[in-house]
Amino acid sequence: MSVAATPLPRRTPRAESHATRAADPRAVGRLVLRALHDELVCYPKPGLVSRVDTGSHADMDAATFVRSLFALRHYFPAIAAAGAASASFTQLRALGLDAERRMLNATGGVNTHRGAIFNLGLLAAAAGWQRAHPDHGRRATLGDTVRCHWGEAIARPAIVAEAAPPSHGLRVAQRYGLGGARAEAAAGFPHVFGIGLPAFEHSLARHGDHQRAAVQCFFSLVAQLPDTNLLHRGGAEGLCFAQTAAREFVAAGGVAHPAWRARAESVHRAFVARRLSPGGSADLLAATLFVHAWQQIRA
């Protein structure tokens, strides 16, 4: 008696597409650039550059950011590939410093994406590592991967001390006794996974509007993050003002409020009047958008 062979299960086209995208460091790079572009066009985003205006900045506009993104188009795939190869933090940092030089050349010395080069570079490296180890820690977040593989080195002061010149954020973090971007990354990006991502995904599920959800995410981050950019521009008083304004916006319903856009624009004008620019929160907004996109691919 013959037995018919059981056909092997076939992947659906959607599964094949996801698998292909997740296996390519260039796909990681595209996701990062898309997240950074979505952060740029997000509006109202108090104090920051968008396609609508330049916020609290006189030295940059949306076109400056686009030139910067173009200069960084090869960096994120490269650091994702390095992560896939289990590169050390020293190796990742070297790629980041080279990317920073290219950014500054493209913008005429204007710092548009230094924070993103650091934060999203590490998250891209983590995505690269995860794509190279698809069966290891399936439930681990990108933040878990950054913390487990590079957290100790990121937190090591000697490595940061070698950087030249130090950023405004690093100087302010040292002055106020804060960890800044380095501590956030070393801890696995707790503000991204604990604040930004839940705010974004809850709003997206409720309203189905990506940009509206990004605004909710941004205000939620400003409300909680000890943003060193705010401290640099406005001191402790400026940080307190910004956090209070953001908390009031969120407490009043955030983007679920019928007049949310007008309320957000009012906060934007108040930030501009005080020259406040929550750049650290903007970096974590972009990080949140990338993490969300990556989790959709991995699902």
The mean pLDDT values, 10 residues at a time, for the chain of 299 residues are 39 43 82 98 98 97 98 98 97 97 97 96 97 84 97 77 52 58 95 98 98 98 96 94 98 98 98 97 98 91
- Structural domain total, the chain: 1
Please indicate, yes or no, if residue 3 is contained in any of the structural domains: no
> Structure pTM?
0.88
C-alpha 79/C-alpha 100 separation (Å) is 13
Range of the domain at 71: 24-298
DSSP state of 109: S
Please indicate, yes or no, if residue 9 is contained in any of the structural domains: no
C-alpha 190/C-alpha 151 separation (Å) is 13
C-alpha 88/C-alpha 153 separation (Å) is 9
Please indicate, yes or no, if residue 12 is contained in any of the structural domains: no
What is the per-residue pLDDT for 159? Answer: 45
C-alpha 111/C-alpha 168 separation (Å) is 11
What is the per-residue pLDDT for 139? Answer: 82
C-alpha 121/C-alpha 169 separation (Å) is 17
**What are the structure tokens assigned to 192, written together?**
């991204």
Please indicate, yes or no, if residue 114 is contained in any of the structural domains: yes
What is the per-residue pLDDT for 165? Answer: 57
Please indicate, yes or no, if residue 200 is contained in any of the structural domains: yes
- DSSP H/E element including 139: none
Please indicate, yes or no, if residue 19 is contained in any of the structural domains: no
C-alpha 221/C-alpha 229 separation (Å) is 13
Please indicate, yes or no, if residue 10 is contained in any of the structural domains: no
What is the per-residue pLDDT for 35? Answer: 98
What is the per-residue pLDDT for 172? Answer: 57
Please indicate, yes or no, if residue 4 is contained in any of the structural domains: no
